[in-house]
Amino acid sequence: MTNTIHNKPVFFVDSLILNEQSAFVHKRLCGGPTFSAGTACAYSCTYCYVEQIVLKQKAVQDIRKSSGLSFDKIVIRRQNPLQKLADALTRNASSSDAVNLDAESILTAERIKSWNLTGMKGRVPKFHGSQFANTVVFGSPLVDVAATNELAKETVELCEMFLRLTSFDLRLLSKSPLLESIVATELHKRLPDEQAGAKKRVLFGFSTGTFNDTVAEAIEVTAPSPTSRLKALHLLQDNGFRTYGMLCPILPQFDPNIYANEAMKAIRADKCEAI
Ligand code: SF4
């Protein structure tokens, strides 16, 4: 345990970052792969399903037992996420690999140093090439990717690595406007190429089931208001980023048609690639 987020103690576990074949493919949020730099979220939504998914993991059980805290009262992050992702996105080179497609040249010595990576010599990208283009990787199935400045910055580094080492597209989901102000802005600054950069290969979405800030405060507790999420979504749309709508969870409605019409207007459905 090293610090706290939203008054929750933070723990670190030694888990992988990339899941190459996630069941999230059935939700049509990805083409198979997902990534997560955490196991327990910084937010504490009352409807969160994640505990049921990770309940049986020994590391989670150990943390709960030693801390005496319930799952919604802890944050669990993953150790060395950048090294783990670099290992997952590369493999040892073989004699048939193109000589100019090695991980060291793609990442550059500067990035390898700033990301504190080791063991990249003789490695080549595992998911590079037209066969991987348009495959979408979803982040994250377990935590909010931009719940604090620090977590949003971690997401920037992970996404930059994905965009440089693979041909995958990325789909990010958050309840935080930091997804726009830090993640999208910084990724576009680092990868501005209109054809292959952040605006072309990253889809941004905000989880907005209710548009009522008071209702959201009751069930999403520490998460930023839906009003602030919509403002960030509109900013992304106005600035040429790819967006999708995520109406989740939808609460019982007196008139589902009225809700649907309001929701389409709120997320500007015509500017969303998918809903
Ligand atoms: S933001 Fe998502 S992952 Fe985080 S607590 Fe809420 S529902 Fe769970």
Residues 187-237: tens digit of each pLDDT: 999 999 877 789 999 999 999 999 999 999 999 999 999 999 999 999 999
CATH of 4-271, one of 3.30.160, 3.80.30, 1.10.1200, 3.30.1490: 3.80.30
Ranges of H-type helices in the chain:
50-54, 58-67, 81-89, 103-114, 149-165, 178, 185-190, 198-201, 213-220, 226-238, 256-266
Q: Which atom of ligand 1 is nearest to the CA of 41?
A: 4
Q: Residue 145: name the closest of 154, 136, 132, 137 by CA.
A: 154
Ligand 1 pocket test: which of 39, 175, 221 has the largest number of ligand atoms within 8 Å of its C-beta?
175
Instruction: Please state the rounded mean pLDDT for residues 68-94.
Output: 96
Contact residues of ligand 1, CB 6 A cut-off: 41, 43-45, 48, 50, 143-144, 175
pLDDT score for 156? 98
Strand pairing partners for 12?
77
pTM: 0.96
From the CA of 176, how far away is ligand 1's center (Å)? Answer: 11
Residues 86, 65: Cα–Cα separation, whole Å = 32
Residues 45, 224: Cα–Cα separation, whole Å = 11
Q: Which atom of ligand 1 is nearest to the CA of 223?
A: 1
Residue 136 has pLDDT above 80, yes or no: yes
Residue 167 has pLDDT above 70, yes or no: yes
pLDDT tens-digit series, residues 7-61: 999 999 999 999 999 988 998 899 999 999 999 999 999 999 999 999 999 999 9
Query: In degrees rounded to 5, what are phi and psi of residue 216?
Result: -60, -40
From the CA of 43, how far away is ligand 1's center (Å)? Answer: 6
pLDDT tens-digit series, residues 86-113: 999 999 998 887 667 899 999 999 999 9
Q: Tell which phi-psi region holds residue 269, choosing left (phi > 0), alpha (psi between -120 and 50) or beta.
A: alpha
Three-state DSSP state, 257 = helix
Residues 135, 169: Cα–Cα separation, whole Å = 6
Q: Determine what percent of the chain is predicted with pLDDT higher than 90.
A: 91
| Domain definitions of the chain by residue range | 4-271
Ligand 1 pocket test: which of 50, 142, 151 has the largest number of ligand atoms within 8 Å of its C-beta?
50
Query: In degrees rounded to 5, what are phi and psi of residue 18?
Result: -105, 130
From the CA of 110, how far away is ligand 1's center (Å)? Answer: 35
pLDDT score for 2? 56
